[in-house]
Amino acid sequence: MVRAYRTDPVQLLANELEPLTEQQVMGIYNLQQSSQEAEDALSQGMDALQQSLAETLANGSPNSSASSGNVANYMGQMAVAMGKLGSLEGFLRQADNLRQQTLQQMLRILTTRQSARALLAISDYFSRLRALSSLWLARPRE
């Protein structure tokens, strides 16, 4: 997945929580680095899997002269594609787990007051994201 613009959620939270101690700054920096590396690895794996899935689906189109061999080949390719979709689902679960672990680690770094402010900032962020999504869906179509 090529990202034209990337917003680091850890950095967004850190900006909302200042002042931070030097130890917190280092903890957040290390968390950013490790979560970025894990996310990059997941993205690369997911990109490769999506490419492989696209190739499998492109090669699996049945011919107009559908003999029993062609149908069996097509069904085999579709079974492979279904397996790859299952793997894609696994990548999505891993990404969700990474986000959850990152948030849990972030909350361990912060004080109780900072954690409360972080949760409010996250809530506000998602509220704005939902509002933007609603506006996008309600836009006039040409």
Which of 2-6, 48-52, 69-73, 132-136 tops mean pLDDT? 132-136
Measured CA to CA in angstroms, residue 128 lies from 56, 71, 94, 132 at distances of: 39, 49, 25, 6
pLDDT at 109 over 90: yes
Better-predicted residue by pLDDT, 96 or 5? 96
Q: For residues 50 and 139, what is the distance between their CA atoms, to the nearest angstrom?
A: 30
Query: Cis omega (within 30 of 0) on the bond before 19?
Result: yes
Answering whether pTM is above 0.75, one says: no
Tell me the pLDDT of the chain averaged across its residues: 82
